[in-house]
Amino acid sequence: MRVIRSTAILILFLLSAFGLSEQGKSGGFCSEEMATLGGVHDSHGSSQNSDEIHSLAKFAVDEHNKRRVVKAQEQTVAGKLHHLTLEVMDAGKKKLYEAKVWVKPWLNFKELQEFKHVEDVPTFTSSDLGVKQEQTSGLKSVPVHDPVVEEAAKHAIKTIQQRSNSLLPYELQEIVHANAEMADDHTKLHLVIKTTRGGKEEKFKVQVQHNNEGAFHLSHMEPDN
Query: What confidence tier does 24 reach under pLDDT thresholds 50, 70, 90?
Result: very low
pLDDT, tens digit, 9 for 90 and up, residues 114-165: 888 887 655 455 555 554 444 445 788 888 888 889 999 999 999 999 998 8
Distance (Å, whole) CA 3 – CA 60: 66
Judge if 41-120 and 127-223 fold alike in CATH terms. yes
Diameter of the chain measured on Cα atoms: 100
The closest of 148, 123, 143 to 134, measured between CA atoms, is 123
What DSSP state is assigned to residue 63? T
Q: What fold is seen in the domain 41-120?
A: Nuclear Transport Factor 2; Chain: A, (3.10.450)
What percent of the chain has pLDDT above 90?
22
In a 10 Å sphere around its CB, with 0-12 CB exposed, 13-18 middle and 19+ buried, how is residue 206 labelled?
A: buried
User: Which of 93, 101, 207 minimizes the C-alpha distance to 160?
Assistant: 207
pLDDT (0 to 100) of residue 152? 94
User: According to the model, what pLDDT value does residue 120 have?
Assistant: 66
Q: Where are the domains of the chain?
A: 41-120, 127-223
Listed in sequence order, the residues at least 6 apart from 41 whose beta carbon sits closer than 8 Å to its beta carbon are 73, 74, 75
Q: Which CATH number fits domain 127-223: 3.30.300.30, 3.10.450.10, 3.40.50.150, 3.50.50.60?
A: 3.10.450.10
Question: Over the stretch 163-201, which tens digit does the pLDDT of each residue have?
Answer: 988 888 999 999 999 999 887 778 899 999 999 998 899
Task: Judge residue 14's burial from the number of C-beta atoms within 10 Å of its C-beta, 0-12 exposed, 13-18 middle, 19 or more buried.
Answer: exposed
